[in-house]
């Protein structure tokens, strides 16, 4: 991935949240500046107390200064933590919303190439991008200032000891960088594997009913368990590296502290250094070593974040299916000229030079055996897929030039796979047509003679359905979807095997409604059976 792409991507979200980021950074730099002299002042206090002219007044002065620095630094730390947290949370939300929009608006032909679980875990992990604004990570960067200021003060206290520390510091840095590289490569592997496991669980939960019917629960659990076993081994190995690294670092710290104590002791005996000077020195050193560790740890956060940014950018590069701008009010004609279609480059042609002409008011029956391409025709009309050859014109305009959102708002469809959502039956009928009212639903139900249909539900139309519409039968779902399709006075109604599950009486009621032409001008019915529908004026045989 090109560096500038990543930078532009980050810039977009940073600019949107610039107020919090700028205030946060300024407070953090001020915090670093104001706390830098603290160790030096403590050292001076110790020197004053161990001298012959010690005084209560001076002690009070020192204490007041130290206390004021602490109070101001806590205030600054509060400000930057709040600002960065706000920016982090907002960027998280904005990124997820943007990704959702991109995925929802991508063409089906491209989305089919991705596992749904993969998409979910990519969207989920995008939140790690905002960890770049995590105060802990940022304070590691600001730590460079601390190291710099500490060195200057250490030089003024004792230049020889400061030079010695300068030699030790790079050793610490190298140990830290080497270990963090190892830890980081393991972390990326674990993250990848854990994303795959979550994706698998997500997909299995989506088809839980089929898994039960096929009685393969145990196979699915053991499949995921095998993957988790591998993940567990990797995680334990990783933890071992991490603990060893922390121990190594703490050993180095202890070694340096003892060394400095020894050397300072010699300087103090030779009267070349005061006890206060040693106090200042050791305090700075105890701040500097974690700062160096933090600095080298940045790569642990940065490298996986770059990988995630690249993966998110891959989703950002998905095209938008809705490139057409032309809007229509009515659907007067639909014309297929020599339309050919295949789902992917590798697949066969499912439609071959199909010609079809539908005028407003037509009642068309599309017939054909299973797999003949009936549903495919409907998806082409809806613009879910684009033709491979030939052209489809709606009102004389190429379907690719039409605004798909506008086109689909003119079409009501009852498909083979009916999606119901968590909410009442009424909510489900109104789903996707927020401008319609409950009154509308009651009128339509009455017109369709379906008033008694919902009598058996405990709360009638207000009966709650659980997620995915559990709580209604296949036939009842079709009736709900039928009513949903009628809402909003559509130009075209499409029924894809829409009555396959309803009983004969309800089926007759539905066809009566279509025949009476209450709700739309044009009707397209797909069926693989040879049924005779008196109101049909055009039959397409595939
Ligand atoms: N998303 C897809 N990707 C690849 N091939 C597909 C896809 N959807 C359908 N097909 C294939 O396209 C062919 C036509 O499918 P389509 O659903 O249009 O048939 P149909 O006539 O509606 O069948 P049925 O009567 O069984 O509903 C089938 O062979 C099917 O395997």
Residue in 260, 285, 286, 284 with CA at minimum distance from that of residue 273:
260
Please give the number of the atom of ligand 1 that sits closest to the Cα of 108. 1
- pLDDT, average across residues 12-18: 94
- pLDDT (0 to 100) of residue 406: 92
**Separation CA 266–CA 158 (nearest Å):** 13
Across 516-532, average pLDDT: 74
Which atom belonging to ligand 1 lies closest to the Cα atom of 112? Answer: 1
Ligand 1 centroid to Cα of residue 435, in Å, is 33
- Residue 375 and residue 244 share a domain: no
**Residues 79 and 141 occupy one common structural domain:** yes
Distances (CA, A) of 331 to 124, 250, 393, 524: 40, 75, 11, 13
Q: Is pLDDT larger for residue 439 or for residue 60?
A: 60
How many C-beta atoms lie closer than 10 Å to residue 23's C-beta? 17
Query: What is the whole-number distance in angstroms between the Cα of residue 350 and the centre of ligand 1?
Result: 8
Q: Which atom of ligand 1 is nearest to the CA of 528?
A: 25
Question: Which residue has the CA at smallest separation from atom 6 of ligand 1?
Answer: 343
Residue at token pair 């250490």: 154
The confidence score (pLDDT) of residue 264 equals: 92
- Classify residue 147: in a domain, yes or no: yes
DSSP state of 348: P
pLDDT at position 26 is 94
Cα of 372 vs centre of ligand 1, distance in Å, is 7
Q: What is the pLDDT of residue 12?
A: 93
Query: 249 CA distance to ligand 1 centroid (A)?
Result: 61
Choose the final residue of a domain: 316, 332, 350.
316
Identify which has the larger pLDDT, 142 or 395: 395
Highest mean pLDDT among 141-145, 240-244, 396-400, 460-464: 396-400
pLDDT tens string 367-381: 888 888 888 999 999
Q: Are residues 266 and 413 in the same domain?
A: no
Do 76 and 215 belong to one domain?
yes
Bridge partners, 337 (sequence order)? 391
CA-based nearest residue to 308, from 91, 534, 522, 106: 91
Q: What is the pLDDT of residue 517?
A: 65
Residue 456 lies in a domain: yes
pLDDT of amino acid 163: 86
Which domain CATH number covers 22? 1.20.1560.10
**Contact assessment for residue 331 and residue 396, using Cβ atoms and an 8 Å cutoff:** no
pLDDT digits (tens, 9 = 90+) for 229-242: 988 998 898 888 88
| 306 and 205 in a common domain | yes
CA-to-CA separations, 523 to 138, 395, 411, 443, 539, in angstroms, rounded: 61, 16, 10, 21, 12
> CB 336: neighbour CB atoms within 10 A?
22
| CA–CA distance, 185 with 193 (Å, rounded to integer) | 13
What are the residues whose beta carbons fall under 8 Å from the beta carbon of 131, sequence distance 6 or more?
88, 137, 301, 305
404 lines ligand 1 (CB under 6 A): no
Q: Which residues of 189-208 are buried (b: 16+ CB within 10 A; e: fewer)?
A: ebbebbbbbbbbebebeeee
Residue 62 domain-assigned? yes
Mean of all residue pLDDT scores within the chain: 86
Query: Could you tell me if the CB of 350 is within 6 A of ligand 1?
Result: yes
Of 96-100, 124-128, 256-260, 419-423, give the lowest mean pLDDT range: 419-423
End-to-end Cα spacing for the chain: 47
Is 408 within the bounds of a domain? yes
CATH of the domain at 475: 3.40.50.300
Whether 373 is in the pocket of ligand 1, judged by its Cβ within 6 Å, is yes
pLDDT, average across residues 87-114:
93
pLDDT band for position 518 (cuts 50, 70, 90): low
The pLDDT score that the predictor gives to residue 137 is: 80
**Residue 17: predicted pLDDT:** 94
Residue 529: band (very low, low, confident or very high) from pLDDT cuts 50, 70, 90: low
Q: Where a domain ends, among 262, 281, 316?
A: 316
pLDDT-based confidence at residue 512 (cuts at 50, 70, 90): confident
State yes or no: pLDDT of 155 exceeds 80. yes
How far from chain centre, in Å, is Cα 510? Answer: 41
How far, in Å, from the CA of 520 to the mean position of ligand 1?
27
Question: Which residue, judged by its Cα, is nearest atom 1 of ligand 1?
Answer: 343
What pLDDT is stored for residue 468 in this prediction?
A: 61
Distances (CA, A) of 175 to 171, 181, 246, 341: 6, 10, 11, 60
C-alpha 199, offset from chain centre: 13
Confidence of residue 359 (pLDDT cuts 50, 70, 90): very high
What is the distance between the alpha carbons of residues 29 and 202, in angstroms, rounded to a whole number? 44
Q: Are residues 280 and 40 in contact, defined by beta-carbon separation less than 8 angstroms?
A: yes
Distance 72 CA to ligand 1 centre (A): 68
Nearest to 408 by CA among 384, 374, 376: 384
What are the backbone angles phi and psi of residue 470, rounded to the nearest 5°?
-60, 135
Answer yes or no: is the ipTM higher than 0.90: yes
276 in a domain, yes or no? Answer: yes
pLDDT-based confidence at residue 169 (cuts at 50, 70, 90): confident
* pLDDT on residue 103: 94
CA angle 311, 312, 313 (to 5 degrees): 90
Residue nearest to atom 27 of ligand 1 (CA): 370
Q: How much distance in Å is there from the Cα of 146 to the middle of ligand 1?
A: 65
Could you tell me the pLDDT band of residue 2, with boundaries at 50, 70 and 90?
A: low
Whether residues 69 and 14 share a domain: the answer is: yes
Whether residues 106 and 242 fall in one domain: yes
**What backbone phi and psi angles, to 5 degrees, belong to 344?**
-150, 170
**CA distances for 355 relative to 377, 391, 526, angstroms:** 11, 10, 17
Same domain, 369 and 309: no
**63-87 tens-digit pLDDT:** 999 999 999 999 999 999 999 999 9
Report which listed range, 128-137, 158-167, 309-318, 439-448, is most confident.
Answer: 309-318
Return the residue whose CA atom lies nearest to atom 29 of ligand 1.
371
What pLDDT score does 78 carry? 95
Model confidence band, residue 270 (pLDDT cutoffs 50, 70, 90)? very high
Helices (H), 214-274: 217-269
Per-residue DSSP letter, 76: H
> Do 219 and 367 fall within a single domain?
no
Q: What CA–CA distances, in Å, run from 92 to 86, 127, 130, 373?
A: 10, 5, 6, 42
Tell me, what's the pLDDT at 520? 63
Using the CB atoms, write b or e for 472-481: b if 16+ within 10 Å. Answer: beeebbbbbb
Are 266 and 372 members of one domain?
A: no
Q: 127 and 211 share a domain? A: yes
Rounded Cα gap, residues 180 and 172, in angstroms: 12
Q: What is the pLDDT of residue 278?
A: 92
Q: Is residue 294 part of a domain?
A: yes
Domain tally, the chain = 2
Residue 13 — pLDDT band, cuts 50, 70, 90? very high
pLDDT grade for 42, boundaries at 50, 70 and 90: very high
Predicted pLDDT of residue 1:
56
Please indicate, yes or no, whether residues 310 and 423 belong to a single structural domain of this protein: no
172-212 tens-digit pLDDT = 777 777 777 777 777 777 877 887 888 788 888 878 877 88
Residue 374 near ligand 1, beta carbon < 6 Å = yes
Last residue of a domain, one of 288, 316, 344: 316
Does residue 347 lie within any of the structural domains? no
Domain membership of residue 331 (yes or no) is no
> The domain containing residue 59 runs over which residues?
3-316
Give me ligand 1 centre to Cα 530, in Å. 19
């Amino acid at each position: 991935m090109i560096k500038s792409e990543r930078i532009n991507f980050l810039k977009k979200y940073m600019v949107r949240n610039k107020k919090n980021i700028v205030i946060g950074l300024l407070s953090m730099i001020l915090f670093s500046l104001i706390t830098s002299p603290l160790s030096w002042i403590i050292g001076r206090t110790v020197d004053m107390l161990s001298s012959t002219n010690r005084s209560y007044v001076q002690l009070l002065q020192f204490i007041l200064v130290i206390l004021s620095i602490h109070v101001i630094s806590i205030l600054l730390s509060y400000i930057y933590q709040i600002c960065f947290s706000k920016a982090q949370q907002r960027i998280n939300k904005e990124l997820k919303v943007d990704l959702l929009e991109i995925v929802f608006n991508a063409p089906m032909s491209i989305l089919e190439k991705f596992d749904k679980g993969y998409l979910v875990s990519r969207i989920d992990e995008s939140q790690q991008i905002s960890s770049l604004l995590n105060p802990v990570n940022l304070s590691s960067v600001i730590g460079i200032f601390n190291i710099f200021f500490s060195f200057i003060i250490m030089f003024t206290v004792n230049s020889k000891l400061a030079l010695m520390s300068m030699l030790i510091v790079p050793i610490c840095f190298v140990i830290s960088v080497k270990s963090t590289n190892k830890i980081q490569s393991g972390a990326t592997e674990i993250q990848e594997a854990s994303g795959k496991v979550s994706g698998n669980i997500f997909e299995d939960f989506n088809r839980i009913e089929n898994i039960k019917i096929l009685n393969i629960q145990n196979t699915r659990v053991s499949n995921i368990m095998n993957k988790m076993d591998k993940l567990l081994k990797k995680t334990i190995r990783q933890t071992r590296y991490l603990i060893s690294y922390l121990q190594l670092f703490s050993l180095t710290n202890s070694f340096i502290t003892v060394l400095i104590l020894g050397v300072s002791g010699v300087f103090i005996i030779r009267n070349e250094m005061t006890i206060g000077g040693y106090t200042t020195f050791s305090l700075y050193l105890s701040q500097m070593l974690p700062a160096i560790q933090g600095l080298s740890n940045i790569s642990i956060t940065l490298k996986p974040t770059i990988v995630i940014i690249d993966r998110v950018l891959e989703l950002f590069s998905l095209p938008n299916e809705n490139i057409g701008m032309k809007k229509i009010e009515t659907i007067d004609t639909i014309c297929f000229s020599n339309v050919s279609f295949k789902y992917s480059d590798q697949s066969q042609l499912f439609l071959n030079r199909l010609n079809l002409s539908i005028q407003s008011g037509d009642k068309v029956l599309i017939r054909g055996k299973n797999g003949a391409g009936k549903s495919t025709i409907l998806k082409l009309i809806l613009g879910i897929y684009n033709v491979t050859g030939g052209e489809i014109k709606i009102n004389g305009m190429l379907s690719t030039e039409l605004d798909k959102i506008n086109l689909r708002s003119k079409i009501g469809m009852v498909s083979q796979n009916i999606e119901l959502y968590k909410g009442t039956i009424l909510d489900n009928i109104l789903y996707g047509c927020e401008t319609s009212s409950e009154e509308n639903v009651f009128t339509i139900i009455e017109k369709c003679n379906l008033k008694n249909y919902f009598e058996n539900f405990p709360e009638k139309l207000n009966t709650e359905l659980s997620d995915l519409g559990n709580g209604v039968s296949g036939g009842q779902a079709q009736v709900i979807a039928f009513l949903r399709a009628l809402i909003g006075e559509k130009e075209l109604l499409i029924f894809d095997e829409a009555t396959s599950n309803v009983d004969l009486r309800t089926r007759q009621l539905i066809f009566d409604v279509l025949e009476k032409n209450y709700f739309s001008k044009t009707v397209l019915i797909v069926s693989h059976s040879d049924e005779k529908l008196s109101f049909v004026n055009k039959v397409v045989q595939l």
